[in-house]
Amino acid sequence: MTTPTGSRTPAWFTTADCDLDAFRAVVEQETDPRDHPHADAVEQGVPVYGDRLRRSPGEGPARREVQAELVRALADGPGIVVFRGAFEPGAVDRATEVFLALIDEQQAAGVSGGDHFAKPGANDRVWGALDKFAVRDPEGFCDYYANDVLALVSEAWLGRGYQVTSQVNVVNPGGTAQRAHRDYHLGFMDREQALDYPAHVHTLSPALTLQGAVAHVDMPVETGPTLYLPHSQKYPAGYVAFHQPEFTGYFDAHRVQLPLRKGDAVFFNPALFHGAGSNVSADVARMANLLQVSSAFGRAMETVDTTAVSSAVFGTLRARRAAGVDERGLRNVVAAAAEAYAFPTNLDRDQPVGGLAPASQADLLWRAVVDGWGQERLDAELAAQEDRRRTGLR
């Protein structure tokens, strides 16, 4: 693989591969409006789509032409696009009523949602909002998710068979900015975890997810709409670099911030450096429906009952470790037997406490082996973890 500057990409990144001057060479470029002919404008380096896109034919070659433009913007352009008036105000307001009711119920129950990149409890969160919305108000859900802008950009970036998830985030007055970061998958790992993945996975990961946000209230700059650094998704070592202070310092000095109106939608490459801004308004609770759309290709071919497998192999693993068997072989068994990834999960009950992600099943199994648990305790812990990961609807 080669970088945008033509140099060869290493098989694994190290912190030494994070060069601020090279990063600046990638991000300090202008967004050419000629590359975005369907956009109404380019604001702060970001293509903004509105009436012109809505007047374009919606099917066939014309649709593909628009989608090709969006792909170029997300991959090789600034990495972010804005759609003005993407969602009808009535559909947004009806969804907002549902989301506020869910937040009121959480607060009445004393539930505080954790957060990946902000202090727990600072914001109001509704995890797993997609299914909660559908069960609470099927008509409103259908009005909201009939939206063709969402389908247009999701199909452009991910192709058919994508899956939508939704997390509602309300940043209240006084809410402070997030630190600059990239997003799912590698963005939810600390630096040392990200370094364990080869460089080609750093390149592949952004193609598996599309990030988006729908404004549910007007968001002038003082309410802290999200901060972005256009073109930063093209920096190869960015999933390592965003953990380093010189890169976050550069972000803070050069980021852009676009005000949004209710119903506007933003979609961006998850590798784009970004972070929510500070809400310094006196009385605006900034509500956004955060959309994470995942590729169908992020799935295994077969379903595996990893809970049963973990339980079955535990006794052998424990006995072999006691006998002094090489640790690498034991860890290899855990990797094959247990679910080694923390997601998808129910973030209401399986929250990222003490890190960006909750413990995986593989983490639990290995802890049981190392700490010498009994079979009964492991089975109980596996069952409890499995229960936490289930949707709260049943």
Q: What's the CATH code of the domain at 265?
A: 2.60.120.620
Q: Determine contact, residues 113/297, Cβ cutoff 8 Å.
A: no
CA dihedral 244, 246, 247, 249 (to 10 degrees): 120
- Tell me the average pLDDT across 358-377: 94
Q: Are residues 325 and 176 in the same domain?
A: no
Among 255, 270, 294, identify where a domain stops: 294
Q: Are residues 189 and 325 in the same domain?
A: no
Q: Which of 6, 72, 15, 9 is nearest to 39 (CA)?
A: 72
Domain range for 234 is 15-32+84-146+162-294
How long is the chain? 394
**Does an H or E element contain 213, and which?**
strand 209-215
Q: Are residues 274 and 345 in the same domain?
A: no
**Does an H or E element contain 130, and which?**
helix 129-136
Report yes or no on 275 lying in a domain: yes
Distance between CA atoms of residues 178 and 245, nearest Å: 14
Give 124's strand partners. 170
Give the model confidence (pLDDT) of 154-190 as tens digits. Answer: 999 999 888 888 999 999 999 988 899 999 889 989 9
Determine if the peptide bond prior to 185 is cis (ω within 30°).
Answer: yes
* Per-residue model confidence (pLDDT) at position 122: 65
Check whether 317 has a pLDDT greater than 80. Answer: yes
Sequence-ordered list of residues with C-beta below 8 angstroms from that of 266, at least 6 positions apart, any chain:
80, 81, 82, 83, 212, 213, 226, 258, 260
Number of domains composing the chain: 2
Give the model confidence (pLDDT) of 194-221 as tens digits. Answer: 999 999 999 999 999 999 999 999 999 9
Q: Is 126 helix (H, G, I), strand (E, B) or coil?
A: strand
- Would you give the DSSP letter of residue 230? T
Per the structure block, which two tokens stand in for 331? 């860890």
Report yes or no on 284 lying in a domain: yes
Query: Band of the pLDDT at 385, cuts 50, 70, 90?
Result: very high
Give the model confidence (pLDDT) of 85-121 as tens digits. Answer: 999 999 999 999 999 999 999 989 887 655 544 555 5
